Structure 1
Amino acid sequence: MQPAAVRVKLLRDGARVPTRATDLATGFDLSACIDAPLRIGNSPVLVPTGIALEIPPGIDAQVRPRSGLARQGVLCSFGTIDADYRGELLVTLYTIAPGIEHTIEPGDRIAQLVFGLLAPAEFVLAAELGATARGTGGHGSTGR
């Protein structure tokens, strides 16, 4: 499969093109583009990446947490980057508990960018939906 061309614009000094940590990694690391260390706590903080992307139509781009930071209690909120957005990518970081703090240094890898193909879909109004074994069972209805 031919890779999709995602154009990237570096918006300021210190910005880095997203890269894969290994050849088989599915996520591209996003790096913090900050001038000084930034303390992350329990309240959400927007961390700039210093890049803007031109994502081709039909491609879905998702921002996801890095497992190494998650292990330390530092998460980013999931986010979608639409193909028509041309602004700077900002990553919302926070810690999962009041007692956890983490310092982000300039250039630190703070999140992952994962691409997927969009499934063509449309909504069709229906008076009834097809029956399944699960039915209307919601959160936790299939077990732990």
Structure 2
Amino acid sequence: MIEVLVEGAAPAGPAHPGDAGIDLTAVEAVRLDPGERATVGTGLKIALPTGHLAFVLPRSGLAAKHGITIVNAPGTIDAGYRGEIRVTLLNTDAREPYDVAVGDRIAQLVVLPVPAVRFVAVEALPGSHRGSAGFGSTGVRHQREVG
């Protein structure tokens, strides 16, 4: 159970049984010109239980149909945050503006449990199959070293 304080339309919960995301709706109208971003209020404040976080994620339909995404996706909401959930939308369409109306579904909220994390300094890390191969290394065929 998550306590909510609503200053607009209450979130309805998942659209379909088994859905992970809950739609967030705009409580203000905004016009996004091509390449423009704006932070849009949802009128929703939540009290997450300790040991949980919420991610604010883009809606796939807005992205596919209109090029609307979230600048800092996923936006992270920590359990201690009590302010309004606001969503920074970006219009990636090069030609068409996009109008957000009050009540439009603009993002999804996904709540997840998170373990408590404690960093411990060590002299070396254990090995792994991937090792230190970083960004862009997946799917790249590496030549085997001959020794």
TM-score, length basis structure 1: 0.86
2:21 aligned residue: 27
1:16 and 2:10 matched? yes
**1:119-130 paired onto structure 2 within 5 Å:** 119-130=115-126
1:69 is aligned to 2:62: yes
Please say if 1:107 is aligned against 2:100. Answer: no
> Percentage identity across aligned positions?
39
Counterpart amino acid of 2:52? Answer: I
Residue from 125, 137, 142 that aligns with 2:138 = 142
Structure with greater Cα Rg: 2
Structure 2: which 5+ runs fail to align? 141-147
TM-score using structure 2 length = 0.84
**1:120 Cα deviation after fit:** 2.4
Rounded Cα–Cα distance in structure 1 between residues aligned with 2:129 and 2:78: 35
Match of 1:39 in 2: 31
User: 1:114 deviation in Å?
Assistant: 0.2
Q: 5+ unaligned residues in a row in structure 1: which ranges?
A: none
The one-letter code of the counterpart of 1:103 is: D
CA RMSD of aligned residues (A): 1.6
Report the Cα distance in structure 2 between the residues aligned to 1:18 and 1:136, rounded to whole angstroms. 44
SS of residue matched to 2:53: strand
